């Protein structure tokens, strides 16, 4: 019989895969290219979109250093506020709610979370969820889209693997669109509201850049304020947030950190990464118990996202929250040879 950890892992990792034409392996979902294939035009567009935050960050630093266009207090404040919202869009919305279903929410809250996640600049809603579920199903093995463990041996091989796990996989069609990836989000594709939000990803992507620009322009009553808002609240914020999140895939599966729950994957806990990602850095905890809404298994471990979910539960905005089970955790710690489900 499976224990609580294994049952919970099944709940978190296995979406409803009822047979449907859209969910069959290799057939595209609505608005998606064929699995395992990206055209040259799509690849070029993908590269351009992914480069915007880096180019904007270089521009912000160049304007500051070369022309004295320094960010004001309001720009730094927008950078910080939008950074937190960006991380929550990924960790709270995309990750813990949609990918792992660690709590339930009303339709209005579900829509709000879908929009917040779509503003995180991490990719279309259902694509991200499907890729993440695929990652858990094949963690650090063949079929894991962004494992850093398959780059080879030696320094060059390790560096190649880490680069792939961090960002390189996004430009590898076999990783970004592996065959059969779409069936991992069947449960979401059958929701018409979520599908509309998913298909409008370009709108959310643009809104995430223009919103801080509009706020900056209104606060400063100038185009200069709008430009600084776009650069610091938009590009620089996205660059920092996405790299922090990507570091969970690369560093969080390869370098340093502790592994209190040994398993088939190489996930590890990193306190500094947990701070940057509002709790995602306790990554070994998460891989051991992906069904839990919190990654905080020790008193001293800080998980801002988990605390926010607990607050939303007390306010009645979410329910059926899957809180960590101390007995299941102790059982897992007492048997370190056990592999992840």
- Give me the pLDDT at residue 171, please: 86
* pTM for this prediction: 0.88
CB atoms within 10 A of CB 18: 9
Residue 13: is its pLDDT beyond 70? no
Looking at per-residue pLDDT, the higher value among 10 and 70 belongs to 70
User: What are the residue ranges spanned by the domains of the chain?
Assistant: 4-14+33-334
- Give me the pLDDT at residue 245, please: 97
Residue 181: is its pLDDT beyond 70? yes
Q: What is the DSSP string of 120-188?
A: TSSS-HHHHHHHHHHHHHTTTSTT-TT-STTS-SHHHHHHHHHHHHHTGGGG-HHHHS-TTGGGGGHHH
CB atoms within 10 A of CB 314: 10
Geometric angle at alpha carbon 294, from 332 and 147, rounded to 5°: 70
Residue 253: is its pLDDT beyond 90? yes
- Give me the pLDDT at residue 111, please: 98
- Give me the pLDDT at residue 182, please: 82
User: Would you call 169 exposed, middle or buried from its count of C-beta atoms within 10 A (0-12, 13-18, 19+)?
Assistant: buried
Lowest mean pLDDT among 1-5, 41-45, 169-173: 1-5
Residue 56: is its pLDDT beyond 90? yes
- pLDDT per residue over 78-132, tens digit each? 999 999 999 999 999 999 999 999 999 999 999 999 999 999 999 999 999 999 9
Looking at per-residue pLDDT, the higher value among 256 and 145 belongs to 145
- Give me the pLDDT at residue 67, please: 93
Query: Are the beta carbons of 301 and 295 closer than 8 angstroms?
Result: yes
Residue 244: is its pLDDT beyond 50? yes
* Distance from C-alpha of 230 to C-alpha of 235, rounded to nearest angstrom: 7
| Among candidate residues 43, 75, 91, the one with its CA nearest the CA of residue 282 | 91
Residue 290's pLDDT band, with cuts at 50, 70 and 90, is: very high
What percentage of residues in the chain have a pLDDT greater than 70? 85
CB atoms within 10 A of CB 14: 13
- Give me the pLDDT at residue 232, please: 98
* Distance from C-alpha of 241 to C-alpha of 120, rounded to nearest angstrom: 8
Residue 8: is its pLDDT beyond 60? no
CB within 8 A of 282, min separation 6: which ones? 269, 274, 295, 296, 297, 301, 303
- pLDDT per residue over 150-170, tens digit each? 877 888 988 999 999 999 999
Residue 27's pLDDT band, with cuts at 50, 70 and 90, is: very low
């Amino acid at each position: 019989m499976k224990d609580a950890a294994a049952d919970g892992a099944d709940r978190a990792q296995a979406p409803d895969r009822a047979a449907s034409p859209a969910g069959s392996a290799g057939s595209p979902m609505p608005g998606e290219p064929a699995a395992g294939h990206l055209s040259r035009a799509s690849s070029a567009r993908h590269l351009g979109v992914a480069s915007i935050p880096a180019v904007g960050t270089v521009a912000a630093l160049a304007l500051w250093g070369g022309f004295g266009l320094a960010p004001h207090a309001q720009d730094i404040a927008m950078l910080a506020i939008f950074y937190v919202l960006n991380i929550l869009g990924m960790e709270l919305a995309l990750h813990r709610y949609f990918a792992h279903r660690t709590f339930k929410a009303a339709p209005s809250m579900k829509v709000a979370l879908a929009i917040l996640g779509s503003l995180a600049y991490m990719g279309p809603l259902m694509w991200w969820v499907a890729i993440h579920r695929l990652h858990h199903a094949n963690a650090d093995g063949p079929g894991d889209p962004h494992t850093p463990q398959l780059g080879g041996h030696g320094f060059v091989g390790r560096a190649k693997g880490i680069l792939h796990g961090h960002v390189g996989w996004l430009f590898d069609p076999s990783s970004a669109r592996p065959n059969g990836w779409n069936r991992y989000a069947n449960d979401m594709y059958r929701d018409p509201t979520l599908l509309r939000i998913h298909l409008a990803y370009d709108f959310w992507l643009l809104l995430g850049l223009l919103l801080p620009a509009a706020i900056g322009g209104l606060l400063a009553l100038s185009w200069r304020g709008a430009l600084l808002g776009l650069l610091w609240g938009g590009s620089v914020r996205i660059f920092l947030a996405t790299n922090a999140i990507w570091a969970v895939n690369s560093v969080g599966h390869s370098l340093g950190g502790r592994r209190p729950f040994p398993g088939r994957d190489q996930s590890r806990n990193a306190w500094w990464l947990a701070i940057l990602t509002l709790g995602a850095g306790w990554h070994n905890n998460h891989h051991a118990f992906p069904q839990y809404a919190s990654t905080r298994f020790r008193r001293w471990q800080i998980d801002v996202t988990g605390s926010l979910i607990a607050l939303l539960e007390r306010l009645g905005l979410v329910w059926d929250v899957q809180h960590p089970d101390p007995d299941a955790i102790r059982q897992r710690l007492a048997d370190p040879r056990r592999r992840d489900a």
